[in-house]
Amino acid sequence: MSEPAVRVDTTSQVPPYEQIRAQLAALIVTGRLTEGERLPTVRQLATDLGLAPGTVARAYRELEAAELIRTRRGAGTRVAAPPTGPTRPYALQLATLARDFTASARALGADTDTILTAVRDALGPDRRGPES
């Protein structure tokens, strides 16, 4: 990754660390960043984006917690191998998409009920589930 594939909108209500996390997660989940690909150092990405290193470090910590990246002293930060197990990759992708959607909806000013209604509507009337 020679230059950042992420952009930060300083006017957004979504915190910069979350914008970085969401964009990198999407690049990894969609395969645009592949296993073993090296990410910029925290300091380098912070400099490139004009942010404090702690902001980028928080995004990287959250990506590590989600097992999307691995950081090793001397080897840098790299895209992790996809998690094993039949449901885990799907669950991680779904969680990433849900988190990104929720952050975007909240940035628009939507409350929890409005967000849930939008999701139910997107599922359609035949897929609402037993609570409908």
CATH number of the domain that residue 106 is part of: 1.10.10.10
Residue 92 lies in a domain: yes
Residue 2 lies in a domain: no
Residue 21 lies in a domain: yes
pLDDT, residue 79, reads: 96
pLDDT, residue 132, reads: 45
pLDDT, residue 131, reads: 53
Residue 116 lies in a domain: yes
If one counts the domains in the chain, the total is 1
pLDDT, residue 11, reads: 92
Strands 69-72, 76-79: pairing kind = antiparallel
Query: Which of 104, 93, 130 has its CA nearest to residue 118?
Result: 104
Please tell me the pTM assigned to this model.
Answer: 0.66
Residue 88 lies in a domain: yes
Residue ranges in the chain modelled with pLDDT below 50: 1-2, 4, 87, 128, 132
CB 107 within 8 A of CB 14: yes
pLDDT, residue 84, reads: 62
Three-class SS state of 80: coil
